[in-house]
Amino acid sequence: MISRISGTLFQVRDETALVENNGVYYEIMLPSALAERLKENGQVGDKIAFETIYYIEAGDKKSSHFPRLVGFTNPVDREFFSLLTQVPGLGVKKALKSLILPIKDIATAIETKNAAQLNRLPGVGARLAEKIVAELHGKVAKFALSKEEKPLSRGKEPRSEFAEEALEVLLQLQYTRAEAERMIQAALQNKPKIKKVEDLIAIVFRNEKQLQSH
């Protein structure tokens, strides 16, 4: 069992991080908002420690299995996530995407049997929300007392396919997700009838040039 990894934060992507320790690079899955904060805070290159959960991911074939690590910077977050993934039907990847509310809010919904609020989480339908309440009610009260106000994952805003492509282009160009989101939103506000990714990128370019000239 690998429960903690420390080393140098070598790289952070949208939902993963690479940590170097004595020449060995560990890939760690992260909640998306946590990954974004690490990038925006400029922590790449810094020493870091992740509280981790080790699990085996099944591939497309029954004979294919892959060891994976999920990481958090707070042991309380890891403990809550470990409980959450014990709910049948709530796998690791789905659970990571569901954390768009602060953990204290999710825990409060469970303890107050507010299945309707849980139903709003990505990937959590009405039936799974009821199952989460049934499995975890009475077990997560301490997490509802947390003072942390930030969610661990970000909600995904509805966006057209070409805007998603433009977002990926900007991410590849080393813009942070927050910067890319701002740039695309500004471009679409000025030209809402854009239908091609090339046109959107061109408007983003013009907008940025104007900002630099002021």
| Domains 75-156 and 161-213 equal at CATH topology level | no
CA dist., res. 183 & res. 201, Å (int) = 9
Please provide the average confidence, as pLDDT, over all residues in the chain: 89
CA dist., res. 205 & res. 22, Å (int) = 41
Helix (H) or strand (E) holding 177: helix 177-190
Q: Can you list the alpha helix ranges (DSSP code H) found in 24-89?
A: 32-40, 75-84
- List residues bridging with 11 in a β-sheet: 18
CB 94 within 8 A of CB 101: no
Please give the pLDDT value at position 190. 67
pLDDT tens-digit series, residues 9-47 = 999 998 999 999 999 999 999 999 999 999 889 899 999
Please give the pLDDT value at position 120. 86
Show the tokens assigned to 93: 């990847």
Show the tokens assigned to 147: 């003072």
Please give the pLDDT value at position 181. 81
Please give the pLDDT value at position 159. 54
User: 1-73: which CATH number, 3.30.479.30, 2.40.50.140, 1.10.1050.10, 2.60.120.560?
Assistant: 2.40.50.140
CATH architecture group of domain 75-156: Orthogonal Bundle (1.10)
Show the tokens assigned to 154: 């970000």
The answer to whether residue 157 scores a pLDDT higher than 60 is no
Question: Residue 102 carries which side chain, given as an amino acid letter?
Answer: P
Quickly state the pLDDT bin for 156 (edges 50, 70, 90). low
Least confident residue range of 3-17, 43-57, 84-98, 180-194: 180-194
Domain extent listing, the chain: 1-73, 75-156, 161-213
Which pTM does this prediction carry? 0.71
User: 161-213: which CATH number, 1.10.1660, 2.40.160, 1.10.10, 1.10.8?
Assistant: 1.10.8
Question: Residue 101 carries which side chain, given as an amino acid letter?
Answer: L
